[in-house]
């Protein structure tokens, strides 16, 4: 950014807001984040992928648990017949809605039956992803990303301290007991 003398300012000479704008300008549109710069699909392949997605686009949102189950069955049968890649996003379109709504259903907003339908459908997708990575058909990093973002897998251990437990108070003597009781992260 030019200063009043026309010379470019260095980072230490910039205000925090100027530094932030400078960082954003450098990163925006960067080649690693550009879909077009990294796309390897040919035009006919893109046309086929767009057709695959648009097949589900105009579906009405399912209204009942029975309709949800029927639509999921139709989705998986169609995917099996066409050989196209099943995704969570495409499954959501098949249900006539978006990922955030399906996430709410999975968490019980439409009851246990709908939640279990969504969980089982996602488990099918997770099993397929696991099979693909096990057979070297997708990169491991792709599987890791999808597993963490769609299937609630994590590579961390969480310890929950419930109210009313002696550990809640954070007593030093009890902290040692908690640490000793933790599972060894190297044990699988």
Q: Give a yes or no: residue 166 inside a domain.
A: yes
pLDDT computed for residue 16 by the predictor: 63
**Structural domains in the chain (count):** 1
Q: What is the pLDDT of residue 8?
A: 57
What domain range includes position 110? 59-172
pLDDT of residue 1: 46
| DSSP secondary structure code for residue 186 in this structure | T
Is the residue at 183 inside a domain? Answer: no
Residues of the chain scoring pLDDT < 70:
1-33, 159, 161-162, 164-175, 188
Does residue 73 lie in a domain region? Answer: yes
Is residue 7 a part of any domain in this protein? Answer: no
CA distance 137 to 109: 36
Specify if 143 maps to a domain. yes
CA distance 160 to 168: 10
Q: Is residue 12 part of a domain?
A: no
């Amino acid at each position: 950014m030019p200063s009043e003398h026309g010379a470019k300012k260095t980072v230490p000479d910039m205000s925090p807001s100027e530094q932030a704008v400078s960082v954003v300008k450098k990163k925006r549109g960067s080649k690693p984040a550009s879909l077009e710069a990294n796309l390897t699909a040919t035009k006919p392949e893109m046309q086929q992928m767009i057709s695959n997605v648009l097949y589900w686009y105009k579906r009405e949102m399912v209204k009942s648990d029975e309709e949800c189950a029927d639509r999921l069955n139709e989705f998986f049968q169609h995917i099996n017949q066409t050989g196209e890649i099943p995704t969570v996003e495409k499954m959501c379109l098949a249900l006539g809605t978006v990922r955030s709504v399906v996430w709410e259903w999975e968490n019980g907003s439409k009851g246990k039956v709908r939640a279990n339908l969504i969980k089982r459908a996602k488990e099918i997708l997770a099993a397929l992803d696991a099979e693909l990575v096990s057979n070297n058909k997708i990169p491991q990093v792709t599987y890791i990303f999808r597993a963490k973002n769609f299937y609630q897998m994590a590579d961390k251990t969480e310890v929950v301290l419930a109210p009313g437990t002696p550990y809640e108070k954070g007593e030093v003597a009890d902290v040692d007991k908690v640490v000793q009781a933790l599972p060894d992260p190297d044990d699988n």
